[in-house]
Amino acid sequence: MDLLDQIFKAGVVGAGGAGFPTHVKLNCKVEYLILNGSECEPLLATDKYLMRTKAKEIIETLEKIAELIEAKKIVIGLKHKYKSEIESLQLAIKNMNSRVELHYLDNFYPAGDEQILVYEITGKTIPPAGIPLHVGAVVSNVGTVVNINEALNNTPVMYSYVSVLGEIRNPVILKVPIGTPIIKCIEEAGGSPLNDYSIILGGPMMGKILNKSDLEHSVITKTNGAIIVVPDNHYLVERDKISIEHIINRAKSACIQCSYCTQFCPRYLIGHPIEPHKIMRTLSLSKNEEIIKETQLCSECGVCELYACPMGLSPRQVNIFLKNELREKGFRYKNTESEFYAREGRENRKIPTKRLMARVDVIKYYGQEIEESKEIFVSTVKIPLQQHIGKSATSLVNIGEMVTKGQQIGSVEKGELGANIHASISGKVVEVNNFIVIENEKMEDEA
Ligand code: SF4
Ligand code: SF4
């Protein structure tokens, strides 16, 4: 069986972001294979942990992927402040006599945005609405490469590594069976000292805010890497509650057209034709369709609203709203230019991560001591059949059936955009819907 088949069989998807099926992504020939080791968002610790502890597996796997896609260069992009990770990777490279190179980045946000990372490493701007493939690159996440390594050993994706930090008694990186309730991860980290808290699933800039009642139904999937516990009245939680009507009304009345949102926009700075201040302006005029189209180039990184805007406005939310309207009308951005160049002054407008953390009120969690990986055991998992972009998997099991850990329980056809799903614990199937619930009463005892 070749590597692509092994990856498909194991159900590997992009471990960060939207979960693009990896067997589809790697079905190409490119010049650059890039490993994104720069933790796009502030505070996240999982990728660093994996680079420190699984350096040998990562380098070995990158070499195999590079062979598959015929990459001439293999580059790991990571921040130069990651001293221990650099040490571990350098040692593995040396011991294996590998051709993997390390590319060091400053500590800025969003260094781990795929498009920014590709620009930093190759000096090429991916065309607007394009993907790394358009400039001869493929970018993989650290967790994805670790999962490919497991796939090479015939082990399917059954776990996510998740950092639990913030307002929590024992910040920790957990190895969590897919389908584990998020609330269980919080308990395993000693619980929160706060009675009223919300969580950010992902990083503080782009993560999803969930309140305590959302948590009752939420589980860990293949794409989750962090849980940040914050007070219920945290700045980011309060912002998340503001309605889009209010956001648009404020944009119309309070935008002073200073253009800071554009001047700091990371996508504008690599040369894309997106100018959020003009999008904001068009809200109070008759809508200019040409400008509205630019919303499709927004990565939703949040720099404009959480860092740049002196009026506390939300160009990002406006973009998301307008983008959805365009999507409903079936509009897709068409790029007509062939060359793009980074704007002058880009280097001076990179956002220092520490300043950003202070701005969004998470600096107090920076440098929290985080316990290194602890595997958790659960008696029930609720495994979604769709944890990836594309088609949902079809259940292969029925209620009452016994399954074993690692058994395939959901499938997609080989040529489809989708991913197979596997049982993350052994036990009895008690529910099949758009998720599969497995129960095993003995499991808690194993912990
Ligand atoms: S969220 Fe704002 S800063 Fe980020 S890409 Fe979109 S417009 Fe630019
Ligand atoms: S930074 Fe704020 S006030 Fe300035 S143009 Fe952008 S949205 Fe308007």
Give the per-residue SS3 of 269-303.
HCCCCCCHHHHHHHHHCCCCHHHHHHHHHCCCCCH
Write out pLDDT tens, residues 66-111. Answer: 999 999 999 999 999 999 999 999 999 999 999 999 999 999 999 9
Q: Where in the chain is the domain with CATH 2.40.50.100?
A: 377-447
- pLDDT at position 382, please? 97
From CA 88, how far away is CA 83, in angstroms rounded?
Answer: 9
Q: What tokens appear for 239 in the block?
A: 């912002």
- Ligand 2, atom 2, residue with closest C-alpha: 309
Q: Which residues on adjacent β-strands are paired with residue 427? A: 403
Q: What tokens appear for 254 in the block?
A: 């309070």
Alpha carbon of 277 to ligand 2 centroid (Å): 6
- pLDDT at position 216, please? 82
- pLDDT at position 443, please? 60
Look at residues 168, 175, 258 and name the one whose alpha carbon lies nearest to residue 224: 175
Helix, strand or coil, per DSSP, at residue 173: strand
Q: Which CATH class is domain 158-234+362-376?
A: alpha beta
Q: Which residues on adjacent β-strands are paired with residue 78? A: 104
From CA 430, how far away is CA 447, in angstroms rounded?
Answer: 22
- CB distance 309 to ligand 2 below 6 Å: yes
CATH 2.40.50.100 matches 377-447 = yes
- pLDDT at position 374, please? 83
Task: Count CB atoms within 10 A of the CB of residue 392.
Answer: 16
- pLDDT at position 445, please? 46
Amino acid at 364: K
- CB distance 432 to ligand 1 below 6 Å: no
Q: Which residues of the chain have pLDDT under 70?
A: 1, 443-447
- pLDDT at position 447, please? 42
From CA 122, how far away is CA 206, in angstroms rounded?
Answer: 25
Q: What tokens appear for 207 in the block?
A: 């993560």
Residue 439: CB partners within 8 Å, gap ≥ 6?
Answer: 379, 380, 427, 428, 430
Q: Which numbered atom of ligand 2 lies nearest the CA of 315?
A: 7
- Ligand 2, atom 8, residue with closest C-alpha: 255
- CB distance 66 to ligand 2 below 6 Å: no
Give the architecture-level CATH label for domain 3-152.
3-Layer(aba) Sandwich (3.40)
Q: Where in the chain is the domain with CATH 3.10.20.600?
A: 158-234+362-376
Ligand nearest to the CA of 300: 1
- CB distance 319 to ligand 1 below 6 Å: yes
Residue 445: CB partners within 8 Å, gap ≥ 6?
Answer: none
From CA 20, how far away is CA 16, in angstroms rounded?
Answer: 9
Q: Where in the chain is the domain with CATH 3.40.50.11540?
A: 3-152
- Widest distance between CA atoms in the chain: 64
Q: Are 253 and 189 spatial neighbours (Cβ–Cβ below 8 Å)?
A: no
- pLDDT at position 106, please? 95
Task: Count CB atoms within 10 A of the CB of residue 231.
Answer: 16
Name the residue of 316, 320, 359 whose CB sits within 8 Å of the most ligand 1 atoms, as the mutation to test its pocket. 316
